[in-house]
Amino acid sequence: MASRKSGRQRKSLWSQTGPTLRLLFGAFAIAAIGLLGLTPKTLFGLSIAWPYAALWGAIGWGRVGLSIRPMVILIVFGLIQDISFNAPLGCFVIVNLIVYGLSAAIAETFDVMNEPLVAVVSPVLLFIAGFLVLWLLASSLEDHAVRATPLFAAFLTTGLIYALGHKVFDLGRAPGQSAGQGA
């Protein structure tokens, strides 16, 4: 009984980590995966749909409400994406910030974010919104309806990887807030 109690009290290193460190770790993960994505990606002759890693941050970081630091990081990532995808500067910034804002709005609307339905449906809706905004922006700026297949493939990989590693982008509480302080 005592051993079970002590086991329950033992906290993981991640749960003890503050939001700033979590934010930096998440940003590092996004940057690393984004840089890897710049290299030619084929596996047995098939090209791999690389995830839009910044959307993980936009969704995960928005779950604790709006904050300036995540916004700045998302703008930086957006500008890097614009350059690497040869998009007009600002396109991916818009996508990242809209998804971040929507994520924060959903978190504010539903008090219980860990409720299974909300936890599953809200990221799916946010990814759909993100990719839809991206497709609309690309189509309107390129003067024709751009191919949806690579976007859909990227949407699937982004969503699947987020489902596995969403905890990396969970800040616990908004950066700059002390423990117990509400958003």
- Give contact residues for other proteins (rule: CB under 8 A): 38-41, 47, 65-68, 71, 75, 78, 80, 83-91, 93-94, 97-98, 100-101, 134-135, 137-139, 141-142, 144, 146-147, 149-151, 154, 182
Q: How far apart are CA 108 and CA 96, in angstroms?
A: 18
Measured from the CB atom, is 115 or 142 closer to other proteins?
A: 142
Q: From start to end of the chain, where are the E strands?
A: 42-43, 46-47
Sign of the CA dihedral with 158 first, then 161, 72, and 180 last: positive
Measured from the CB atom, is 24 or 146 closer to other proteins?
A: 146
Give SS3 for 171: coil
DSSP assignment, residue 111? S
Q: How far apart are CA 18 and CA 139, in angstroms?
A: 40
Least separation, in Å, of the C-beta of 38 and other proteins?
A: 4
Least separation, in Å, of the C-beta of 9 and other proteins?
A: 32
Measured from the CB atom, is 27 or 71 closer to other proteins?
A: 71
Q: How far apart are CA 138 and CA 87, in angstroms?
A: 8
DSSP assignment, residue 66? -
Least separation, in Å, of the C-beta of 37 and other proteins?
A: 9
Least separation, in Å, of the C-beta of 43 and other proteins?
A: 14
Least separation, in Å, of the C-beta of 169 and other proteins?
A: 18
Measured from the CB atom, is 96 or 122 closer to other proteins?
A: 96
Measured from the CB atom, is 17 or 79 closer to other proteins?
A: 79
Q: How far apart are CA 107 and CA 26, in angstroms?
A: 19
Phi, psi angles (nearest 5°) of residue 40:
-60, 130
